[in-house]
Structure 1
Amino acid sequence: MATTTGTEAPELTGLPLLGSLFDLKNDSLGTFLRARRDHGDVVRISAGPPGIRTTVYGVFSAAGAQQVLAGESANFRKDNAFYQEVRESFGNGLLTSQDEDYLRQRRLVQPLFTRRRVDGYAAAVAAETTTLIEEWRDAGAGTVDVLQAMTRLSLRAVARILFGTDVDAAVEIVEDNFPDVGAYVLRRGYSPLNVPRDWPTPGNRRAATVHRALYEVCDRIIAERRSSGGAPGDGQDLLTLLVEAESAEDGSFDATELREQVLVFLLAGHETTATSLGFALHLLALHPEERKRAHEEVDRVLAGRTPGAGDLDALPYVTRVLKEAMRLFPAAPVIGRRAVEATVVGGVAIPAGADVIVAPWVTHRHPDYWEDAERFDPDRFTPEAEAARPRYAWFPFGGGPRACIGQHFSMLESVIALAMILQRHDLEAVDTVVPVAPAITLQAAGPARCRLTPRRP
């Protein structure tokens, strides 16, 4: 039974009638940082007029994040309005399912994400990265928006791993429609009042069109794969493995469940990695000494050859660069839950039914764990430095039983792609500041342009 004796949470100061509504709307990440700075590690934040006001409890310490995501994970569920909107748009896949649905899906999918299986995807990542580098060379690319480029690279890589030879059929549809779905989910997820999705408003009609396009391309590829008995070639793409996933205890995925898993893998598998890669390049472009160290490691270890899964341990500095980029720009900057029972976090009472957030964006900047937190310093992630910090001082992949199942794949893809780009290019930042805002994942509100200069290792 959760403990219920604790002090009342301090409340972030806002407007008398609207609370922190405009602060959250204009700069929610900055508002959460201010809440921790002014009021501590557990803060009550209210927004909206009386009658439809919403209240959320921000939990910002590493110990608090561990309690919400791991220690008391059963008491903090994905029952809030935002997850319901994600569920309505992307289905009841691994990202949104709960209870026995989640456990069954996880058991069926887990064998597809073993380290040995994931390491087998390295060649597909390298092939897509080679294609990108060749496109830059052929176009004589001087200035590139690295966030935009990494979004396309990550989408093509995850689509190749999911669909095998059917990459192009999916990529165009996803590129055209995912941003609209994300905006629709975000708008409804944070609105205190929504009309039903089946009302024929302009926004609902547009959303229905883009949802239909995404569903149709997934359903078509799944149906073709099932009728043909597997993928062309070696049959080892992820969709074939999903189609074949089966156990005596859990059965197998039906067509709707397959589509829901595919949509979640497309969303989580490309946007999160794109954020890490894009901001790693942006940060290296801003910091010549760190970039020089990364170049030297890549040149020494790879000596001009294409990296594979076996090279990850031999590229520790490149890995540290990526981890530091994920600290400063976590792809999931805010993670929401809803408390089932009343409990206490950090000595502060959380009532039953309360909406709760943990925020990598804030905890990754917490002065108790990170000195001069806004400074880019990959050496924060040496083994010794990592061992000295609390486990949840850094949690870009979430944590506990709902930790991201694809985190090894994300690191594999990121290290290989970053190493290959650094082999062939030097970088200089054009945009020194990139504004960001939270959506389903962290989104850039402006370009991250870099000048590329060809180099030879």
Structure 2
Amino acid sequence: MTTTPVDSRSRGEAPGPAGLPLLGSMLDLRRDSLGTFLRAQREHGDVVRLEAGPPGLRSVFHAVFAPEGIQQVLASEAANFRKDHPLYEEVRRSFGNGLLTSQDTDYLRQRRLVQPLFTKRRVDGYAAAVTTEAAAVAARWRTAGTPTVDVVREMNRLALCTVSRILFGTDAAAAADAIDRCAPVVNAYVVQRAYVPVKIPREWPTPGNRRARAATDELNALCDRIIAERRTAAAAPADGASAAGAPADGAVPGGDLLSLLTEAGNDEDGSLDATEIREQVLIFLLAGHETTATSLAFTLHLLARHPAEQRRVQEEIDRTLGDRTPTAADLDRLPYLTQALKESMRLYPAAPVISRRAVEATEIGGHRIPAGADVVVAPWVTHRNPALWEDPERFDPGRFAPEREAARHRYAWFPFGGGPRACIGQHFSMLESVLALATLLRAYDLEAVDEEVPVAAGITLQATGPARVLLRPRPHFS
């Protein structure tokens, strides 16, 4: 990508790379969007204007990298920056209009109906489901016949099984298999369509359209079947076991999320119909599976590459837990493990780029953002800004000691977004990650086989290569 600034058409326009005469920065963004954004910030500043695509089909967007500008986009001027970006439209078309993509009155109604399912007390009740799945992974590793595992694949399956158990209860295994098979097909389709200048209509029977439609239909049919069964069960008299309070094998104490969604309602907002429930479930699967898997995988891999930090985390786990299973109450008792997790989320944020569209013209960092402009904020870049983070590529959990965290700008670290659209599942993600990591790191010492893991931006951050680690069972776990 060339570094010649784009000529300013008016005073206050943001600088940016010229790119190629006919395609602008399109090829750079397609080859390595994360690297392109990093170079743009370092060469042109904290508000950058980029052009991509051929004349007549060229898209122009602004990237905002400074915490103050990010706060404008996500929080203080959030009403002016809507989820009208092409990526969100494609997610909406494939997964439905759930909390991630809905807007205005739809979003407010959904948030009010769903929020009670994500209170701290409710989420803490899912701790046993998390530790059950993590303990199963630790036991399987012991009998796997190989001392080396790819933590990207392993944590993807762990997070998928965990969220499936919490969402679907006794139907978790069947759901996890279908999601594992179908979700990657739909995700790749969504990303591909979001960033092409000319979109082939979804209705045309191309091979890509047909594969994506088949995968979407399978996910929809799975959710619809389980929703119908839940509603039938809710209407039927409780049997003896249920009345006695003994949950079926695989059930979640207090009810799985799908059952709770079918019961959610209030006088103001009514309740969710079957289609709305399915759309919420699919968005929860998308947002609660891949994002947590990314955080788990890279935390394990970074600790495997840094044995001194790994030992410090394990000493804290041993001292806090002894031989007992971790619980939700241990979340505050494992501060250094939490710091290591946050540091891995700094280096490998599961949502590396967040997109919006400006409704009205505004100014960010002294530069004009026109009405209708696509705007992105990029945790991947802000989390690596040397003005905010000393030696930013270094893994240092100490950055998240309470006093150092309190001294930083709120939007220097924002893996869960921020403002009124901040991730509703923040507490659940942190709970799941800390308890799963504590379970696995108590059982094994890890040594990195792959030093570097290539990544790319999709709907979420995607590892494009393995992150293999060598497992050594810890003696007290034998």
Once the 2 structures are TM-superposed, how far is the Cα of residue 13 of structure 1 from its aligned partner?
2.8
CA contact (8 A) 2:175 2:222 kept: yes
Q: Which amino acid aligns with 1:348?
A: H
Q: Distance in 2 between matches of 1:48 and 1:265?
A: 33
Residues 390-438 of structure 1, C-alpha deviations (whole Å, 9 max, x = no match): 0000000000000000010000000000011110000000010100001
Is residue 399 of structure 2 the alignment partner of residue 380 of structure 1? Answer: yes
In the TM superposition, residue 139 of structure 1 has moved relative to its aligned partner by 1.6
Q: Within 5 Å, which residues of 2 pair with 1:167-246?
A: 167-229=172-234, 233=247, 236-246=255-265
The corresponding residue for 2:382 is: 363
Query: Is 2:95 aligned against 1:90?
Result: yes
Q: Spell out, residue by residue over 1:87-127, the C-alpha distance to the aligned partner (whole angstroms, 9 max, x if none).
A: 00000000000000000000000000000000000000000
CA contact (8 A) 1:44 1:57 kept: yes
Query: Helix, strand or coil for the counterpart of 2:143?
Result: helix
Q: Distance in 1 between matches of 2:113 and 2:371?
A: 33
Distance in structure 2 (CA, Å) of the matches to 1:353 and 1:335:
16
- Post-superposition CA distance 1:150-195 (Å, at most 9, x none): 1100010011011111111101100000000000000000111101
Bigger shift: 134-143 or 380-389?
A: 134-143
CA distance in 1, matches of 2:135, 2:146: 15
Name the residue aligned to 2:3.
Answer: none
CA distance in 1, matches of 2:474, 2:324: 14
CA distance in 2, matches of 1:95, 1:34: 29
Aligned residue number for residue 157 of structure 1: 162
Match of 1:66 in 2: 71
Question: In structure 2, how many angstroms separate the alpha carbons of the residues matched to 1:109 and 1:262?
Answer: 11
Contact 1:304 1:423 in 2 (8 A): no
Q: Which amino acid aligns with 2:208?
A: G
Residues 125 and 254 in structure 2, CA contact (< 8 A), matched pair in contact too: no
SS in 2 for 1:139: coil
How far did residue 141 of structure 1 move?
A: 3.6
Whole-angstrom CA distance in 2 between matches of 1:140 and 1:455: 17
Per-residue deviation, 1:305:
1.2
The TM-score normalised by the length of structure 2 is 0.93
1:80: how far off?
1.3
Q: After the TM superposition, which residues 2-17 of structure 1 pair with which residues of structure 2 at under 5 Å, given as runs? A: 7-17=12-22
Larger mean CA deviation between 87-96 and 228-237 belongs to 228-237
The CA distance in 2 between the partners of 1:178 and 1:98, in whole Å, is: 24
State the SS of the aligned residue for 1:88: helix
Query: 1:268 and 2:287 equivalent?
Result: yes
Q: Is the 2:131–2:435 contact (alpha carbons within 8 Å) kept by the matching residues of 1? A: yes
Note the C-alpha offset of 1:56. Answer: 1.1
Higher relative contact order (CA 8 A, sep 6+): 1
Q: CA deviation at 1:44?
A: 0.3
Cα distance in 1 between the residues matched to 2:191 and 2:81 = 21
Could you tell me how far apart the structure 2 residues matched to 1:103 and 1:449 are? 43
Q: 1:303 aligns with which of 314, 322, 327?
A: 322
Letter in 2 for 1:31: T
The answer on whether the counterparts of 2:161 and 2:176 sit within 8 Å (CA) in structure 1 is yes
Deviates more, 1:8-17 or 1:211-220: 8-17
Does structure 2 conserve the Cα–Cα contact (< 8 Å) formed by 1:344 and 1:350?
Answer: yes
SS at match of 1:223: helix
Residue ranges of structure 2 left out of the alignment (5+ in a row): 1-9, 248-252
- Which residue type is aligned with residue 456 of structure 2? A
Preserved contact between residue 292 and residue 433 of structure 2 (Cα < 8 Å): yes
Is residue 343 of structure 1 aligned with residue 362 of structure 2? Answer: yes
Matched, 1:45 2:64: no
Seen in structure 2, the aligned counterparts of structure 1 residues 6 and 101 have a Cα distance that, compared at 3 Å, is farther
8 Å CA contact retained: 1:294, 1:317: yes
Calculate the aligned-residue CA RMSD, in Å: 1.2
What secondary structure does 2:55 align onto?
coil
Q: Is the 8 A contact 1:242 1:258 kept in 2?
A: yes
Aligned counterparts of 2:307 and 2:129: Cα–Cα separation in 1: 30
Contact 1:80 1:355 in 2 (8 A): yes
Q: Which deviates more from structure 2 when the two are superposed, residues 7-16 or residues 101-110?
A: 7-16
Counterpart of 1:354 in structure 2 is 373
Larger displacement relative to structure 2 (298-307 or 247-256): 298-307
In the alignment, which residue of structure 1 is the partner of 2:473?
A: 454
Which residue pairs with 1:56 in the alignment? 61
Q: Which residue of 2 aligns with 1:427?
A: 446
Moved over 2 A (4+): 230-235
Corresponding letter in the other structure for 1:240: S
The residue that corresponds to 2:83 in the other structure is: 78
CA deviation vs aligned residue, 1:368-399 (integer Å, no higher than 9, x gap)? 21000000000000001101110000000000
SS at match of 1:96: coil
| Superposed displacement of residue 140, structure 1 | 3.5
Task: Tell me the amino acid that sits aligned with residue 326 of structure 2.
Answer: P
2:274 corresponds to 1:255: yes
Residue 9 of structure 1 contacts residue 348 of structure 1 at CA under 8 Å; is this kept in 2?
yes
Distance 2:103 2:176 in 1: 29
SS in 2 for 1:229: helix
Q: Who is 1:392 aligned against?
A: 411
1 CA distance for matches of 2:370 and 2:379?
A: 23
Q: Which residue of 2 aligns with 1:294?
A: 313
Amino acid at match of 2:398: D
Distance across 2 between alignment mates of 1:426 and 1:334: 33
Find the aligned partners of 2:38 and 2:439 in 1 and give their Cα distance.
35
Supply the distance in 1 between the matched residues of 2:327 and 2:40 (Cα, whole angstroms). Answer: 44
In 2, distance between residues paired with 1:294 and 1:369?
25
Indicate the SS of the match to 1:443: strand
Conserved in 2, the CA contact under 8 Å of 1:6 and 1:344?
A: no
Alignment deviations for residues 55-108 of structure 1 (CA, whole Å, 9 cap, x no partner)? 110000011111100010000000011110000000000000000000000000
Q: Could you tell me the percent identity over the aligned residues?
A: 67
Q: Quote the Cα distance in structure 2 between the aligned partners of 1:296 and 1:343.
A: 51
* Superposition deviation, residue 11 in structure 1: 1.7
* Counterpart for residue 333 of structure 2: 314
**How many Å apart are 1:235 and its aligned residue?**
5.4
Which deviates more, 403-412 or 138-147?
138-147
Deviations 1:128-164 (A, max 9, x none): 1111111111223400000110110001001101111
What's the CA shift for 1:367? 1.5
Retained in 2: the 8 A contact 1:276–1:414?
yes
Question: Which SS does the other structure have where 2:51 is aligned?
Answer: strand
